[in-house]
Amino acid sequence: MDFPILTLLVLVPVAGSLLVALISNRQPDLVKITALLSSVLTAGLSIWVLTAFEKNQDGFQLVSQHPWIQTWGISWHLGIDGISIFLVVLTGVLFPLVIAGVDPHRDHKRYLAWMLLLEAGVMGSFVSLDLFLFFVFFEIVLVPMYFLIGGWGYDDRVYAATKFFLFTMVGSAFMLVGIIATAVLAKADNGNVTFDLVKIAENATFAASTGRWLFFAFAIAFAVKVPLFPLHTWLPDAHTQAPTGGSVILAGVLLKLGTYGLLRFGVYLFPEAAVWARPVFLTLATIGILWGAIAATMQTDLKRLVAYSSVAHLGFIVLGTFALTAQAITGGVLQNISHGISTGALFLLVGMIYERRHTREIAKLKGLQKVAPVFAAAFMIVMLSSIGVPGLNGFVGEFLVLIGSFATARWWVVVAATGVILAALYLLWAYQRVFHGEPDDDNRSFPELKWKEGMLLLPFIAIIVFTGVYPKPMLDRIEPSVNRLIEHVEQHSTWQAPVVEEGEG
């Protein structure tokens, strides 16, 4: 396809952001319509990308490459494969839902302009195949998220935004050094300096010690973004203080820049180093699963509980990534999407509770199921998805990660599996305290789910159920690229992934 559809995925929200910024503050309706149209058009383009994507191909598709800074070998190089396609679609679909359904309550113009710029940065990060271009988009994401938390968050928003900014900036500094060093050192194998991800990954050979240092330069940045234990401390603060729309986007797609980056720029660029570093990342992922679950159980703030649950769920994705089997990585890629849908919906629901009761304290919420049964039912479906109940989307990816990791990371899996039990504990206990029992005077007037809120939640619940019952369309598009990645790791390291006989998977 010659049509530059991936370029448009980036440029449309940028154009929308600029238009919103130029519209007068005296025209709030035009601001909202412009932002919504821009995000809906981007969503339509992402669906078009999905329909144009050929599921049996394992390489990059819809590639667009044009010289940018030729002297340094930097190009506008975009492409997608099975590992990134659904992250692109998730980004495209999530932003218009948030823009349409979440009210920032004040200064709509700046809020929507930052939101659209954030969408452009996230989208660009997922489609970039040039290291320098990826870094640019990766950094663009940081700025609007900082202002969204700091400008529209809650009481401690400035502290949370600053902490988020500092953690991410320090990680990015390591990655910038790694990117430059990688491009320069790869010159001997490519003939010229190049930042082309595919050329470096396929042609460059690094000495073992060099590759490991470079790998860790990238991995630190992505570990902060996941976030991976012990670099996770910024996340609960950022989630708790961010406005509802910011929390949904942060959980839905921003954290995926870390898990996606570990796979695309860690394992793919430095397979030998990734194999060598497996024990470290498997251990940190397992600790994160347990620590996140235990910390979530101890929370008194419902939003903070959901934030800590993210640390646990993202640990499963990292576990699957470094198990280095086709099943485990496929499960991790699928869990990226499932977590974005389920946790994003949980943050929406928690935001709706706060709008009604002006508190997120679990102790002050009781008996909501009796006065708002439809709201409680929606919350339960999303909660069960997050737990990983069979028939809902959270089960499929988590199951594939655990069963796929067992052959190569057995004892880590044995320990990590207890995280599934703990997830049921903290989420079911939270549901029981918030929704069961007799409502007191403050909760007796809790409003039922409104039709607009129901329409907002409907796409989330539909995807949760459809993916849980019939994940095959997604797996068919993910698996070829994952299998190719495993072959690449085997060719460039001593790793040999276990062979799954027909019928075992």
Q: Is the pLDDT reported for residue 265 higher than 60?
A: yes
Mean pLDDT, residues 81-87: 93
Rounded Cα distance between 260 and 242, Å, is 23
Q: Is the pLDDT reported for residue 499 higher than 80?
A: no
Q: Is the pLDDT reported for residue 255 higher than 70?
A: yes
pLDDT in tens, 36-70: 999 999 999 999 999 999 988 888 999 998 988 88
Rounded Cα distance between 96 and 155, Å, is 27
Per-residue confidence (pLDDT) for residue 113, from 0 to 100: 93
pTM (predicted TM-score): 0.92
Per-residue confidence (pLDDT) for residue 111, from 0 to 100: 92
Helix and strand numbers (H, E) in the chain are 23, 2
| Paired tokens of 362 | 């679990």
Mean pLDDT, residues 219-229: 91
Mean pLDDT, residues 60-88: 91
| Paired tokens of 62 | 């819809």
CB 30 within 8 A of CB 23: yes
Q: What is the CA radius of gyration of the chain?
A: 22
pLDDT in tens, 393-407: 989 999 999 999 988
**Secondary-structure breakdown of the chain: helix, strand, coil percentages, each rounded to the nearest 5:** 75, 5, 20
Per-residue confidence (pLDDT) for residue 26, from 0 to 100: 84
In three-state secondary structure terms, 305 is: helix
Per-residue confidence (pLDDT) for residue 310, from 0 to 100: 86
Per-residue confidence (pLDDT) for residue 139, from 0 to 100: 92
Tell me the percentage of the chain whose pLDDT exceeds 70.
97
CB 330 within 8 A of CB 478: yes
| Mean pLDDT score across all residues of the chain | 90
Mean pLDDT, residues 276-283: 93
Q: Using 50, 70 and 90 to split pLDDT, how confident is the model at 493?
A: confident
Alpha carbon separation from 51 to 45, 54, 62, 84, 352 (Å, rounded): 10, 8, 12, 14, 34
Q: Is the pLDDT reported for residue 425 higher than 90?
A: no
> If phi over 0 gives left and psi between -120 and 50 gives alpha, with beta otherwise, what is residue 58?
alpha
Q: Is the pLDDT reported for residue 1 higher than 70?
A: no
Q: How many residues does the chain have?
A: 505
Q: Is the pLDDT reported for residue 245 higher than 50?
A: yes
Ordered by start, the domain boundaries in the chain are: 277-505
Preceding amide of 227 cis, omega within 30: yes
Tell me the percentage of the chain whose pLDDT exceeds 90.
60
pLDDT in tens, 152-204: 888 888 999 999 999 999 999 999 999 999 988 887 666 678 898 998 988 87
Q: Is the pLDDT reported for residue 145 higher than 60?
A: yes
CB 307 within 8 A of CB 236: yes
At position 178, the amino acid (one-letter code) is G
The one-character DSSP state at 191 is S
Rounded Cα distance between 294 and 241, Å, is 21
| Paired tokens of 77 | 């190089």
Per-residue confidence (pLDDT) for residue 502, from 0 to 100: 43
Return the higher-pLDDT residue of 275 and 189. Answer: 275
Instruction: Give the count of beta carbons closer than 10 Å to the beta carbon of residue 32.
Output: 18
Q: Is the pLDDT reported for residue 25 higher than 90?
A: no
